[in-house]
Structure 1
Amino acid sequence: MRNPLLGQDTLGDEQTRSLKLFGTIALWLGANVVVTTILTGMLLVPDLRFSTALGTVFIGSVVGAIPLVLVGLMGQRTGLPSMVLTRRAYGPTGSRLISLVNMSVLIAWSWIQALLAGMSLNYAVQAATGYDNLALMTVVCEVIVVCIVLRGHIGIERVERWVASAMVILAAVVVYELSRHYELGSLLQMSPDPHNGITLGIAFDIVVATAFSWISSSADYNRNCVDGRAAVAGTWIGYVAATVIAMGLGAAVSGLSIMGGMAQTYDPTKLLAEYGFGFPAALVIFFSVMTTNVMAVYSATLSCMNVAPGMAFWKPALAIGVVSVVGALIPGILDQFQNFLLLIGALFIPAFAVMIVDYYLVTRQGYDRELLTARRQVGPATAPVAIAAYAAGALLAAYWTLVAPLSIGASLPVFVITGGLYWIGTQVFVAQSKQSQA
């Protein structure tokens, strides 16, 4: 639906909502069977046993998906994008700051995705024709992404549905080919070996942080779900299944590459290229990265529109696409991937802990479409409490991640503490307000 203040594709109108249960599962499956999730799984092996890594992935994704589902359900109930939902707790100014942070992180995420897509397409083209031009292939991939984004959520849903089905089939074929040429059963006997400094607690934290990285986008898409069942069950099933498939594949390829005396890798293309199967494996990576990059650029565009209402949808979408290409060509950007995951945890977890507590525990008042068109300049009375709780949570996340890492990781403690601080702060504020009015 077009809104005169924010432009195209900003409201999840009840009459035009198109995401049913299968479509929601496909959306989140296509979003997360992706090379960056495979790369995350690679970090877990050989530091952990393969079976331990898979168990950690399953439990961490089930737990991590809880906030993802809750924010997505908020979007389904209100029809509002994620960043617009932050206005109730943080006020207009705080919401713009959160939106700027979100947009910056999503653009950085798009840099990584654009480069990986370009690398995969370049490999496929080189294998077929001998032509090698990584920069050009990166540009081509981002042009395709922007064209899909400009079609709005309907275009994204259609693409994700087909790509998700293709991704599951291609991933199954890749696993089958790996089993033909490598002894997958040997992974279960592989002894753990400290390689990346990953402990069980850190592994769990990384898996949870991966789920939390999608929180800022969940309402952007689930606002188009036809009902709450599709939003909750579809997101949970799609996300958990995709994470287990992708991280499990990354852990398996990592273990096989090390046992084979190769340099550690998450890329199945490298293991299968010598058997003539590198091209289909490259397609898996290419399609997976493209679908995730589409969602990142779309959500970054909505974040920009929350900062500057009235902007035409196509303008930030095009600008973000250009910036993504430039950033993708920064040398050594992939080397910062693990640090990037930790940055997401520090910035996103406290922000949305406040929003979830505000909606489900404090009040639902104000979570309606008037948020989208309101021109008020004064934020809610609880906005200072929200900003203070967010700042405290972000500092704790940074301290427990960079200075004194916790054995259980920082994600869940930061989420609980930030939400608790906000709830306590609002209760004290409400009590003081009642006393002053008495």
Structure 2
Amino acid sequence: MSKSASPSPFGQDGLSPDSAGHSLNSLGTFALWFGANIVVTTILTGMLLVPDLRFTTAITTVLIGSLIGAIPLLLVGLMGQHTGMPSMALTRRAYGPVGSQMISLVNMGVLIAWSCIQALLAGMSLNYAIEATTGYSNLPLMTIMCESIVVLIVLRGHLGIEKVERWAALAMAGLTVIVLYQLNQHYEVSALFDMPVEARNGITLGIAFDIVIATAFSWISSAADYNRNCKTPRIAIWATYFGYIMAALVAMGLGATISGLSILNGMEQTYDPTRLLAGFGFGIPAALVIFFSVMTTNVMAVYSATLSCMNVAPGMSFWKPALAIGLVTIFGALIPGILDQFQNFLLLVGALFIPAFSVMIVDYYLVGRDGYRAELLHARRQLGRPTAKVAIGAYLIGASLAAYWAIIAPPPFGASLPVFVITGGLYWLGVKLFTRPNPSISQT
């Protein structure tokens, strides 16, 4: 009787539908997206809205913008649940294998850069908590420790991430309640409702709406990576929707609250609750909110970068790119001045990925679902409709518009939603005018 093989300590995640675990129930999916979106950058977004807008107007904008912005996120996640394939593998249908590999390379680069920034932010939060407790400070060491934990979690695959995200989301929710309670105890939170409007960050109502939508759009490229594991389409839709929206309201609301209180009390405007509560003995819970938020998001970034790498070079074992990307992010986080490029990084994300996934959503839901099968992963040409040229053309126009509006001539209403709609419309029109249905499926 032969010995059964011992289970591998590494995740066995892959691109094929067979590797989708369908392990996420409603609570797990809610926790995943709740934990993903309570992050420093989302809190920072809330800070930008106040005092340029009234506090109530800012919160209303967050709610409406999130309700709208999360819809494309849901649609891509639902594609993953239907097909069992991750986001980058799904781009093969509209863009072809070569176009998909190029998008995957860009996505991998962006996620690695994002992970480096997140690792540094996590290290800063952990370093503050340890320094406040023991007096010891070593930012490079804390940064390396944080990212090493991230890599170990990712190596376990989606099952490891799902377990960690549940507990981390619960911890963040509890810590956030403590922080908000202490803010209310030590500051006059009710004064925020009467706080006068003041132009500080150049944020108008239209731009605020665009920023909130862009925050949701920033998750599109990873949505199918996780929701492919949802047990049912209903879970993929509603648990994701409520998890994301609740997190946006909590995180941006926290940022707006902290921003307003810091200004009302004559302090430097900030999004960091640690600065407001450190003097009252509650700096550590505030720092831990930041720490957990960054860690949960960083795990998802490294995991999605790994799947992107596997789409470029199929056949690799999951742990090899996961480990390599993890090591790159550990050393990348130590690059001096990396945070100085954060604003430019956000502009790059919007320009590159909003139009890319607008094309993919239109292709799947409006043009046709033929070809979205496992054979897509092995084809060396497009399956079915020859749409790659149309897709790339629509994408280039959309990316150019996004870059022009974001960098050269920002419109008063923002660029994210118009770019998404225009790119998708151009692709749909191009397919109707320049391609013909092809019932044959070529895998040569």
SS in 2 for 1:266: coil
Matched, 1:47 2:52: yes
For residue 34 of structure 1, what is the amino acid of its counterpart?
V
The residue number in structure 1 matching 2:116 is 111
Q: 1:108 Cα shift?
A: 1.4
Structure 1 residues 397-436: aligned runs within 5 Å: 397-430=402-435
Q: 1:10 Cα shift?
A: 3.5
Q: 1:11 Cα shift?
A: 4.0
Of 87, 96, 105, the residue aligned with 1:91 is 96
Matched, 1:293 2:291: no
Aligned positions, number: 429
CA distance in 2, matches of 1:94, 1:15: 24
Q: Deviations over 1:194-235 (max 9, x none)?
A: 111111111111111110110000000000000000000011
Indicate how the Cα distance of structure 1 residues 94 and 215 shifts in structure 2: closer, same or farther if over 3 A, else same. same
Q: 1:13 Cα shift?
A: 4.0
Of 171, 181, 185, the residue aligned with 1:180 is 185
Matched, 1:325 2:309: no
For residue 376 of structure 1, what is the amino acid of its counterpart?
R
The residue number in structure 1 matching 2:273 is 268
Q: 1:272 Cα shift?
A: 0.3
Indicate how the Cα distance of structure 1 residues 42 and 180 shifts in structure 2: closer, same or farther if over 3 A, else same. same
Q: 1:316 Cα shift?
A: 1.6
TM-score normalised according to structure 1 size = 0.94
Indicate how the Cα distance of structure 1 residues 14 and 302 shifts in structure 2: closer, same or farther if over 3 A, else same. closer
The residue number in structure 1 matching 2:30 is 25
The residue number in structure 2 matching 1:157 is 162
Indicate how the Cα distance of structure 1 residues 15 and 61 shifts in structure 2: closer, same or farther if over 3 A, else same. closer
Of 96, 101, 105, the residue aligned with 2:106 is 101
SS in 2 for 1:390: helix
Matched, 1:218 2:219: no
Kept in 1: contact 2:275–2:283 (CA 8 A): yes
CA distance in 2, matches of 1:41, 1:304: 33
For residue 380 of structure 2, what is the amino acid of its counterpart?
R
Q: Which runs of 5+ in 2 are unaligned?
A: 1-6, 440-444
Q: Deviations over 1:383-425 (max 9, x none)?
A: 1000000000000111111111111100111000000000000
Q: 1:322 Cα shift?
A: 2.0
Kept in 2: contact 1:353–1:415 (CA 8 A): yes
Kept in 2: contact 1:7–1:311 (CA 8 A): no
Of 52, 64, 81, the residue aligned with 2:86 is 81
CA distance in 1, matches of 2:438, 2:232: 37
Q: 1:330 Cα shift?
A: 2.9
Indicate how the Cα distance of structure 1 residues 12 and 124 shifts in structure 2: closer, same or farther if over 3 A, else same. farther
CA distance in 2, matches of 1:392, 1:195: 33
For residue 200 of structure 1, what is the amino acid of its counterpart?
L
For residue 109 of structure 2, what is the amino acid of its counterpart?
S
Kept in 2: contact 1:9–1:153 (CA 8 A): no
Q: 1:339 Cα shift?
A: 3.1
Q: 1:341 Cα shift?
A: 2.3
Q: 1:121 Cα shift?
A: 0.6
Q: Report the more deviating stretch, 182-191 or 309-318.
A: 309-318
Q: 1:12 Cα shift?
A: 4.9
Kept in 2: contact 1:209–1:341 (CA 8 A): no
Of 146, 152, 169, the residue aligned with 2:151 is 146
The residue number in structure 2 matching 1:204 is 209
Matched, 1:130 2:140: no
Matched, 1:388 2:389: no
* CA RMSD across the alignment: 1.9
Q: 1:277 Cα shift?
A: 0.3
The residue number in structure 2 matching 1:227 is 232
Q: Which runs of 5+ in 1 are unaligned?
A: none
Indicate how the Cα distance of structure 1 residues 393 and 25 shifts in structure 2: closer, same or farther if over 3 A, else same. same
The residue number in structure 2 matching 1:359 is 364
Indicate how the Cα distance of structure 1 residues 12 and 221 shifts in structure 2: closer, same or farther if over 3 A, else same. farther
